[in-house]
Structure 1
Amino acid sequence: MNRPTVYATTTGIPVPQQPAAPVRERRAGPVPAVRDLRDRPGGGPRTLRFGPRDLAVVTGLPGSGKSTLMRRTVPGHRVDSQDARDRWAARLPAALPYALYRPLVRLAHYAGLRRALRSGEGVVVHDCGTQPWVRAWLAREARRRGGALHLILLDVPAATARQGQRERGRGVSRYAFRRHRSVTARLLDALEHGERPAGCDAVVLMDRASANGLSRIEFAE
């Protein structure tokens, strides 16, 4: 049986309120639309479709499969810092520590992102999760072009993400991983309390099964 296309617009199902939760100060702005594709029988839909002027940010723990998902499903503009890192690594001696040329990778990544945004077309961006100013930049760009900013959050257990790092040979330090876990936990907590993640108009929640079942992320009317 063919799995459906999910139209990931801002008209989705809001996160339900938690009546038993303590009263918290809520951020300004509407509650975001949330498409929860976790724990779906058969793994969920095969396609995510956004508006032609929208932007999408893929976030989650290091090792959760963000780069793999983007490479497999995005036929159009995608901007992934891992691609920039791989290009620089191919030019430099293998023994050279990444920390020494990380600033060059970051510059190349953001330059590529700027070029992609100037195209005016839909773009899928790998969000490292610890650089909130990047998401703010994307939110401003989405509003300027009359589109929306969508957050695709890969929700996988920490142990699964660590295993993914080992399989890809891209481990991060314990300190960096703790930072990523903290950021991801805050995002999920905000959603559970009906709060709007900064700059985001809509959210798609995915687990490993739904991510593996996805075959295409596209932008269309």
Structure 2
Amino acid sequence: MAGLPGSGKSTLLNAWAPLATVVDPRATRAAHQAVMPSWLPYRMYQPWARLRHMHWIRTEIRRAHPLLVHDCGSRPWMRRWLAGNADRAGRPLHMVLLDVGFQEALSGQHARRRLTSRRVFATHRRGLARLLSSVDGDGSAAVEGLTSLVLLDRTSRDGGPRAQFDRPRK
């Protein structure tokens, strides 16, 4: 699940959560914050939190169950890393990309009171703009390793798309 901060990724993942395991970086961040001194800024231990999060993703990819990964989608290296891990595990990789526009995403941040800095938001915005520019008219993307890409705008996101997963083969 990819999109700008505030685009509705968490809301959609929560709706789909009964169908699959959800790997959300906020859970990793909260776990690290719970054991760190309150005076220590997150940016000081962010690299370790990111490594722990990536380990969690890799562990879940190796299991034979439906998996939903919350990621901004704006980092090409992360998309390649996900694709490589899915390929090594013999699993397909599908991306649901929320393209709701930056104003809608900013409104979503304010509504949820979860604001990213201007710098971080701008970085995600540029990365997603590059990804969106690689999406062809038929919905396929020049993202190596993706089995499929579903592009949702605000209307289709709010229309209640539903995830479906095949049962694992035994």
With the length of structure 1 as denominator, give the TM-score of the two structures: 0.64
Find the residue that maps to 1:200 and give its secondary structure: coil
1:115 deviates by 1.6
Q: Which structure has more strand as a fraction of its residues? A: 1
Q: Which runs of 5+ in 2 are unaligned?
A: none
Are the equivalent residues in 1 in contact too, given 2:74–2:125 (CA < 8 A)?
no
Q: Which structure has more helix as a fraction of its residues? A: 2
Aligned: 1:97 with 2:56: no
Find the residue that maps to 1:140 and give its secondary structure: helix
Tell me the matched-pair count: 164
Which residue of structure 2 aligns with residue 21 of structure 1?
none
Find the residue that maps to 1:217 and give its secondary structure: coil
1:165-204 equivalent positions in 2, closer than 5 A? 165-192=109-136, 195-204=141-150
Report Cα offsets for 1:33-65 as digits up to 9, x if no partner: xxxxxxxxxxxxxxxxxxxxxxxxx11111111
Q: Which amino acid aligns with 1:136?
A: R
Bigger Cα displacement from structure 2, 87-96 vs 63-72: 87-96
Aligned: 1:64 with 2:10: no
Are the equivalent residues in 2 in contact too, given 1:73–1:215 (CA < 8 A)?
no
Q: Which runs of 5+ in 1 are unaligned?
A: 1-57
Find the residue that maps to 2:72 and give its secondary structure: coil
- 1:135–1:66 CA distance, 2 compared to 1 (3 A): same
Which residue of structure 2 aligns with residue 111 of structure 1?
55
Aligned with 1:140 (options 78, 84, 105): 84
Report Cα offsets for 1:162-191 as digits up to 9, x if no partner: 122222232222222122111211222211
Report Cα offsets for 1:81-124 as digits up to 9, x if no partner: 11212333344455643222322321221121122112132321
Aligned: 1:153 with 2:97: yes
Find the residue that maps to 1:181 and give its secondary structure: helix
Are the equivalent residues in 2 in contact too, given 1:74–1:218 (CA < 8 A)?
no
Are the equivalent residues in 2 in contact too, given 1:59–1:151 (CA < 8 A)?
yes
- 1:114–1:66 CA distance, 2 compared to 1 (3 A): same
Q: Which amino acid aligns with 1:110?
A: M
Q: Which amino acid aligns with 2:160?
A: L
Are the equivalent residues in 2 in contact too, given 1:72–1:215 (CA < 8 A)?
no
Q: Extract structure 1 runs of 4+ deviating beyond 6 A.
A: none
- 1:95–1:63 CA distance, 2 compared to 1 (3 A): farther
Are the equivalent residues in 2 in contact too, given 1:153–1:204 (CA < 8 A)?
yes
Sequence identity percentage: 42
With the length of structure 2 as denominator, give the TM-score of the two structures: 0.80
